[in-house]
Amino acid sequence: MAKNNQLQILNEKELSDTMTGFHNAVNPIGNCKILQRDSPWDADPEEYFGGRDPRDGMEKVCQYLESLFYSAKDETIFVNQFLKPVQIMAKFREHLSTREKASTDLEGWVFSISKPTKTSPFNKTENVTASIVFPKLRTTMSVSFPKEIIKNTSSSYSEFTKCQPTGLVNRIHPVKGSSISNTHKEVLLSQFNFLFTSFNDIQIVGESIEMENFCEVQSQNSEIKQHMGFSFVSFGKVLDVQGSRVTIEAMNKSGIISFTINSRHYYKNSNMISPEKMKGKHVRFFGVAWYNPDTDGKVNLDTPEVFLMQEETDSARLKIEDEIGKIRIRNHITQSKIKEELRGKIESEDCIENKNNSLYFVYPKTGDPICDSFMNSTYQIKSLRDELKMGNPIIRQEQVLSSVKMGMTRMETNLKSSSPLLDVLTDYLWQNDLFGHYDKMLTVEKFAQIYSEKMINKKIWHLKFLRIFDPNNKKYEKITANGKASLEKILHEKLSKNLTLMQDIVRLDNGVIPPSILLEYLRNSELFLPLVLNEGRSTETIWVKKNTKPVSAELQNEYNGNINSILEVMSNVSYSVTSQLIS
């Protein structure tokens, strides 16, 4: 599994926060409408709806989209793989709110419960995150409850009333009056065809960028509350069980994988049947493969975990289900790629449809309007993924992100395409040139008629994300060498284009171009010269176009009148400044 993520916004922590943000953001319907715009990240944060959590959620989702807009290989990939999935599920949530009955009852299997954590430093309430398979939604979702409500996993289903699903991020929102009760109906992994995954795909599914495949799950190998996990049902023969490790071989003997047994939940999930009793037997097993872990090395999530194994004496059936899993994760497979002895049997499955010499995995309707609407939205997203998968099991980061856009080119592209971003950065350098430091509130005052303070804060975050500002400096904003070089290049290009339109006299305190950048440009220009003063000295604070004859006396008086104020301002810098140095 790849250890290094190309883009910070797609590492596990950032993506998990984005998923939480989306879940919080879409509760106010006004936010759903904003997210359906062509460029939702351009919305002023003042437009966001709801309290702190929904607004923070909108901020996170918009940061996610804006970052990927400038990092994707092309606009089509960005729209189809990142923007449209968000818009599709925002539209689903908007339509859900218009229904007379805006929630539904769901039967689900709770297979994992996180350790309790406080909801806030000021609140004594402790919540747990439950990870649940919902057959009617054809997926795995997480939901947060007070720890008193749900304490243990089990081998049977529970009934969850008054639920609102949030797709793409796989969260359940329990509405007021919701409840949980045990149905005592036993869980059979054979009924989870919507999670079937070929054994040979298990070790690569965690590298997918398809958010809809992941859900919050507690890991045996981590002290962190939960991680992003890809839930699956797969098939094989148990070769060995040693403590918390189980070794399973593929049905066709094509591979062997060593799994961690999530012993915190396994025994209750299996009705106290020891995993050692499965040794030597063919099994269906429910497991989780982890999303690409962060690069800090604190948590090793390379090993997938098993939460339940169930014996199956019909090994031929398991081979068929493994092939179904191969079709499911790819959306479709040509008939020629299915083994001849299995083809006819697979075609007769309820979840398989034969079209144009290919076998497609299909999701039958449930009869529940909310669940069917949810599945329709999910299918739209899967269709978009299918365009890029082209028969492959997953979509990887390198398929959608441009390495060219990750360095200085990425900085320049962002600055050129975003006026607010360029305005904030230019003002930052202007202030540093004049005062020796940066005061954000001066930027807020300067652009008060154009941008809100929240919008400026948003752009400062973006400058840090792009590493134009140092992201590790928490005390104050500090431009990086590459960031300054990118700004210089852009402003020099602007000056070159407008050179012939420049006035005969150019002052460094022009209020548009930061003095340090303008000065460097003028020094390298063949069209301007420093103003020559009466005493024969020249000053670089005022430049004159060649072959012009400005009124020197007026410029001399202007220089004399301003020199003291300039010296006063420049006294803020750490080195000694004299009138000769300014000149």
DSSP per-residue codes, 40-109? GGGS-GGG--SSHHHHHHHHHHHHHHHHHHTTBSSHHHHIIIIIHHHHHHHHHHHHHHHSSS--EEEEEE
Q: How far is CA 201 from the centre of its chain?
A: 23
Element (DSSP H or E) covering residue 25: helix 12-25
Whole-angstrom Cα distance, residue 466 to residue 471? Answer: 8
Phi/psi for 140 (5° steps) reads -110, 135
Token digits of residue 351:
């979840």
- Determine the Cα–Cα distance for residues 306 and 266; give it in Å rounded to an integer: 8
Q: Which of 562, 545, 457 is nearest to 502 (CA)?
A: 545
The C-alpha atoms of residue 199 and residue 4 are separated, in whole angstroms, by 25
Cα separation, 192 vs 363, in Å, equals: 12
The dihedral over CA atoms of 375, 380, 381, 382, expressed in degrees to the nearest 10, equals 80
DSSP 406: G
Q: Are 217 and 205 in contact (CB under 8 A)?
A: no
Strands 332-334 and 528-532, bridge-based pairing? unpaired
Place of tokens 């590459």: 482
**What is residue 445's predicted lDDT score, i.e. its pLDDT?**
93
Which amino acid appears at position 127 of this protein?
N
| Helix, strand, coil share of the chain (percent; to 5) | 45, 25, 35
- What is 489-543 written as a DSSP string? HHHHHHHHHTGGGS-SEEETT-SSS-HHHHHHHHHT-SSEEEEEPTTS-EEEEEE
- pTM for the whole thing? 0.80
**Token pair belonging to 177:** 């009056």
Query: What residues contact 557, with CB distance under 8 A and at least 6 apart?
Result: none
Q: Tokens for 113?
A: 């419960």
Q: Is residue 366 within 8 Å of 375, Cβ to Cβ? A: yes
Rounded Cα distance between 528 and 514, Å, is 17
CB atoms within 10 A of CB 149: 13
CB burial readout 162-177, b (16+ within 10 A) else e = bbbbbbbbbbbbbeee
Q: How far is C-alpha 275 from the chain's CA centre?
A: 37
Q: How confident is the prediction along the chain (583 residues), in pLDDT tens digits per residue?
A: 334 435 677 888 889 999 999 999 999 999 999 999 999 998 999 999 999 999 999 999 998 998 899 889 999 999 999 999 999 999 999 999 999 899 999 999 999 999 888 776 677 788 999 999 999 999 999 999 888 888 889 999 999 999 999 999 999 999 999 999 999 899 999 999 999 999 999 999 999 999 999 999 999 888 888 899 999 999 999 999 999 999 999 999 999 999 999 999 999 999 999 999 999 999 999 999 999 754 444 556 889 999 999 999 999 999 999 999 999 999 999 888 887 778 788 888 999 999 988 999 999 899 999 999 999 999 999 999 998 998 899 999 989 988 776 666 778 888 888 888 999 999 999 999 888 899 999 999 999 999 999 899 989 988 988 889 998 888 889 999 999 999 989 988 888 777 655 677 887 776 678 888 888 888 888 888 887 776 667 778 788 888 777 655 556 556 555 555 555 555 555 555 455 544 4
> For residues 337 and 386, what is the distance between their CA atoms, to the nearest angstrom?
17
Q: Which tokens in the block code for residue 349?
A: 């499955």
* Residue bearing tokens 């060219």: 404
Single-letter residue type at 462: H
Give the count of beta carbons closer than 10 Å to the beta carbon of residue 26: 32
Place of tokens 């709770």: 110
> 153 near 265, Cβ under 8 Å?
yes
Q: How far apart are the first and last CA of the chain?
A: 60
**Amino acid occupying residue 120:** S
Helix H or strand E encompassing 117: strand 117-120
Lookup result for tokens 């982890």: 290
On whether the CB atoms of residues 99 and 369 are closer than 8 A, the answer is yes
Decide the pairing of beta strands 156-166 and 227-242: unpaired
Helix (H, G, I), strand (E, B) or coil at 383: helix
Map residue 234 onto helix, strand or coil: strand
Place of tokens 């984005």: 18
* Rounded Cα gap, residues 473 and 470, in angstroms: 6
Measured distance CA(506)–CA(490) in Å, rounded:
19
Cα–Cα distance, 301 to 272 (Å, whole number): 26
What is the rounded distance in angstroms from the CA atom of residue 366 to the CA atom of residue 164?
16
Q: Which residue has the tokens 């497609």?
A: 360
Domains and CATH numbers, the chain: 8-100 (no CATH), 104-374+386-396 (2.40.50.140), 408-582 (no CATH)
Residue 407's pLDDT is what?
A: 63
Structure token pair of residue 136: 């009617």
Secondary structure class of 21 (helix, strand, coil):
helix
- CA-nearest of 360, 369, 325, 318 to 102 is 369
How far apart are alpha carbons 13 and 22 in whole angstroms?
Answer: 14
C-alpha 420/C-alpha 376 separation (Å) is 38
Give the torsion through C-alpha atoms of 364, 367, 373, 377, to 10 deg.
-10
